[in-house]
Amino acid sequence: MRLKTEFRLAIQVLTPLHIGTGRDLEEGFDYVVRGERTLRLHEERFVRWVAERGEAFARLTQGVPPDQILGAEIPRELVRYELPGVPQGPKEIRECVKDAYDRPYLPGSALKGALRTLLLDRAWKERRLALSRVRLDPEARFAARRLEQEVFGPTPHEDLLKALRLQDSAPAPMECLRLLNVRCVSPAARAGIPIALEALAPKTVLMVEGHIDETAFRPWGFQRKPGFLPEEKRAWLAWEALAAAARERAQRRLELDLDWAQKVGVKTEPWEQLLQQVRQAERGESRGFPLQIGFGTGWLGTTLGPVLLADPGFPEVHRRYKLGRVPRSSRQTPPERFPASRRLARLNALDLPLGWVWVLPKETA
């Protein structure tokens, strides 16, 4: 009996990709700006450097930030890495995940989470589910918990995706990292306060290895024991099934976004190019499929999105979970115009959506 099916994936970044650490880098302490470049400081080396300089150390203990202590010329050994561009809004940068050598990578958990949402979307359509027949959790962030348990399994030991193992990607070169300013754009406010973040640039390619644990679908012995997955669910992880579901979901999402971009008045080329790539794959010109991962995917990317908007029961869900609430206001975007905003990154004179990648199989063992 085959114990596992190994595979390798090439993840091609189509639009800026940010997987955050949860940490905000602060100007003057974690990074400094020199001209049109942002320099990330090496904290440990700076501490050793300043400890050897009595006057500088005294200023540090008095609360003077490292930026002012270092002056205009910063010793090269005190810079971990530098990025083109500078933050345009608040003086902080959202840090992306990197390895011990400051090389960015894609966590396997982020990719697996996107696949989980994809499979849930597929199950919704195949089972012809509707909001009127689904029990939603009262707490918004766990709204789909009961649905997930029904689709994937009631416990972690019976969850379908326990059979899918994905490693973190191999790191990408530092040259692939960019500093981008991201704005929340809506018809009511074209230019929100920008958020600066580190992101992988388009055309970056990341390699991911993984395997499907075939023993999860077959019990040892003649009798099926609790904890083994139904064999019919193995087909859910077949490449062609995943690819078809991903293309269909992405096309629905991109059509909504394209319509939104036209109404807001931003250039539509990025969405048109993504749609064209999806349609080429549907014609058999590529075995790959699209996913949207990480920061900026929005409500449409992290939920069932388009199928919920088309459901007759959505206005009640919109009211119950207070979707579309305007920050620091009692106003709420009406359900027919929700979601009203998108996060866009400015790069090469274009406003780009965030987090779109193209997944390709490299080899199968």
Per-residue pLDDT tens over the stretch 182-203? 999 988 765 578 999 999 999 9
Residues 87, 38: contact at Cβ < 8 Å?
A: yes
Strands (E), the chain: 4-13, 20-26, 31-34, 37-41, 79-84, 92-96, 164-166, 177-185, 195-200, 205-213, 289-292, 342-347, 350-352, 356-364
The pLDDT tens digits along the chain (365 residues) read 578 899 999 999 999 999 999 999 999 999 999 988 999 999 999 989 988 888 888 888 888 889 888 888 899 999 999 998 899 988 899 999 999 999 999 999 999 999 999 999 999 999 999 999 899 999 988 899 999 998 998 888 888 899 999 999 999 999 999 999 999 998 876 557 899 999 999 999 999 999 999 888 865 544 455 557 777 788 899 999 999 999 999 999 999 999 999 999 999 999 999 999 999 999 988 889 999 999 999 999 989 999 999 999 999 999 999 998 877 777 888 999 999 999 999 988 889 999 999 999 986 43
Q: Which tokens go with 274?
A: 């993504």
Residue 166's pLDDT is 96
Amino acid at 46: F
Strands (E), 214-336: 289-292
Nearest partner of 257 among 351, 189, 192, 178, judged by Cα:
351
Residue 218's pLDDT is 66
**Cα–Cα distance measured from residue 333 to residue 338, given in angstroms and rounded to the nearest whole number:** 6
Per-residue pLDDT tens over the stretch 130-163? 999 899 999 988 899 999 998 998 888 888 899 9
Residue 200 phi, psi dihedral angles, 5° rounding: -75, 135
**Cα–Cα distance measured from residue 200 to residue 209, given in angstroms and rounded to the nearest whole number:** 19
Residue 365's pLDDT is 36
**Cα–Cα distance measured from residue 156 to residue 310, given in angstroms and rounded to the nearest whole number:** 31
SS3 of residue 42 by DSSP: coil
Q: Which tokens go with 125?
A: 């359509």
Residues 208, 169: contact at Cβ < 8 Å?
A: yes
pTM of the model: 0.92
The DSSP string of 168-202 is: PPPPPPGGGEEEEEEEEE-SS-SS---EEEEEEPT
